[in-house]
Structure 1
Amino acid sequence: MKGRNDLKLAVLIDADNIPYANIEGMLDEIAKLGTPTIKRIYGDWTKPTVSGWKPALLQHAITPIQQYSYTTGKNATDSAMIIDAMDILHSEKVDGFCLVSSDSDFTRLATRLRESGMLVIGIGEKKTPNPFIVACDKFIYIEIISGKNETKTPKAAASKATPEFDKMSNNLIKLIKATVDDLADDNGWAFLAEVGSLLMKKKPDFDARNYGFTKLTPLLKSLKNHIEVDERDVENSRIKHIYVRVKS
């Protein structure tokens, strides 16, 4: 089985639905998940609305694909990107795809790629419709890549909390507790790495950064009224294995 850094990824970007300002952060995020062997961006490059992308394309070696808008109201960019994705799929040159768009029109494409055994990562803004999000194995919000929603401490996160944030927090606690219970041994303990993996399967856009934490461990430690965290030393090693369980 290939390791994370061995995965070859095709990165396909919808220039019509993604801001160019955070391209460097997006590519850094993708590099954590695999090697982007194909990088293409789709749009009508005769339009001034996508002109901001041009310097980034040269800097990051992204191949622009020209797609004219033949009919008003129809998104030809989507069609070109979907056709290219299927061609790449059948070439068998990659292990997964990163679809960078906030457009729900790519929902069926994401589903089809996963049906073919491909890893599918989505990147888009928080306005992205849920059907596209859940069609991906993992979905990352551009807002957390850019650092707009990043907070360094739980106290800071609380100070910026909104009614929406509180609602998300309550749902998050329920999700985490249920996931820990799903994986718990006879004593109620679950291995943190497995908890993280199952959380991602249940909720593709799950990311500790969405809630003001850089990693899952500090997020769980902040839920001390709900979750116990046990860091266990591995014999003859400096490594610690982290286990969690739901408090009675």
Structure 2
Amino acid sequence: MNGEEKERRVAVLIDAENIAPKYLPIVLSEANNLGSVNIKRIYGDWTMPQMSSWRNVILDNSIQPIQQYSNVSGKNSSDSALIIDAMDLLYQGRFDCFCIVSSDSDFTRLAARLRESEIYVLGMGEQKTPKSFISACSKFSYIDLLYRANQPPLPAMTDKAAEMEHNEKNSASTGSSGMGMRLKSVRKALIQIWEENSDDDGWIASSQLGNFLNKQFPDFDVRNFQFKKFVPFIDSTNLFEKRTEGLHVSFRLK
């Protein structure tokens, strides 16, 4: 970001009844990467015993808790409070980006409405998040995958134990998470993007390739596939040859 660009103003709104406290460092890290976090609010019925695990986390990170009593059994009043606050903040015109942290599809329409007003929406939730909410966001991050990737390495293991852990991780990334099927969809999309947007010589800039891919898959993140950067991920697909000119990287289908 150069000195002439205006830093994004970010509002973070967290559904505490739908997200575990252990994910908060991931949430704040992702939000801070977008710009200046001016508002951090968390919603829940703080009279409930199960909410006590949030207490120290909220205090340590200067997050404003919003109390919302459950007036009717089975109805989540916190969702309504978060939505109303988000719309109030939207009409104030102070924010360029909203981070909505929940795995609940109830926020689908809110995300869509914010984007209609040209607001960037970062959704954050677990892999169980319904597709409707994911698709309504500008970008969606799976906090359980990011949390797992940030865990410190375990002590040295025997070869057998290491093999078992590798098989378990591989199963988690390609089985229940659906990442194996998602990789097939991503590879297919990459080919289509290249076909529709490459230049006359068949080259497409890595930045352009990434931008189109993110528009098609709001939840795409190379970290979900154990990569830290986009270019090494593209290399791993073995679909393209690569051309590097200074800081610019381009790809052409093999």
| Structure 2: runs of 5 or more not aligned | 154-165
Q: The residue matched to 1:204 in structure 2 has which SS?
A: coil
- CA shift in 2, pair 1:100/1:159, >3 Å: closer
> How far apart are residue 25 of structure 1 and its match?
1.8
- CA shift in 2, pair 1:159/1:133, >3 Å: closer
Cα deviation code 1:32-70 (max 9, x no counterpart): 112111110000000111111111111111100000000
Whether 2:170 is the aligned partner of 1:160: answer yes
| Structure 1: runs of 5 or more not aligned | 234-239
Whether 2:246 is the aligned partner of 1:245: answer no
2:188 is aligned, of 145, 162, 174, to: 174
Q: The residue matched to 2:137 in structure 1 has which SS?
A: coil
1:187 is aligned, of 198, 201, 204, to: 201
Q: How does 1:1-248 map to 2 (within 5 A)?
A: 6-148=7-149, 160-161=170-171, 162-163=174-175, 164-224=178-238, 226-233=239-246, 240-247=247-254
Q: Distance in 2 between matches of 1:211 and 1:172?
A: 11
- CA shift in 2, pair 1:37/1:96, >3 Å: same
Q: Distance in 2 between matches of 1:52 and 1:41?
A: 13
TM-score by length of 1: 0.89
* 2:43–2:66 contact (8 Å) kept in structure 1: yes
TM-score by length of 2: 0.87
Q: The residue matched to 1:6 in structure 2 has which SS?
A: coil
Q: Distance in 1 between matches of 2:83 and 2:205?
A: 38
Q: The residue matched to 1:160 in structure 2 has which SS?
A: helix
Cα deviation code 1:74-103 (max 9, x no counterpart): 110000000000000011111110000000
Identity %: 44
- CA shift in 2, pair 1:79/1:31, >3 Å: same
Q: Distance in 1 between matches of 2:79 and 2:141?
A: 20
> How far apart are residue 157 of structure 1 and its match?
9.5
> Aligned AA for 2:170?
K
Paired residue total = 236
* 2:23–2:144 contact (8 Å) kept in structure 1: no
> How far apart are residue 173 of structure 1 and its match?
0.8
- CA shift in 2, pair 1:126/1:159, >3 Å: closer
| Runs of at least 4 residues off by over 6 Å | 1-5, 156-159
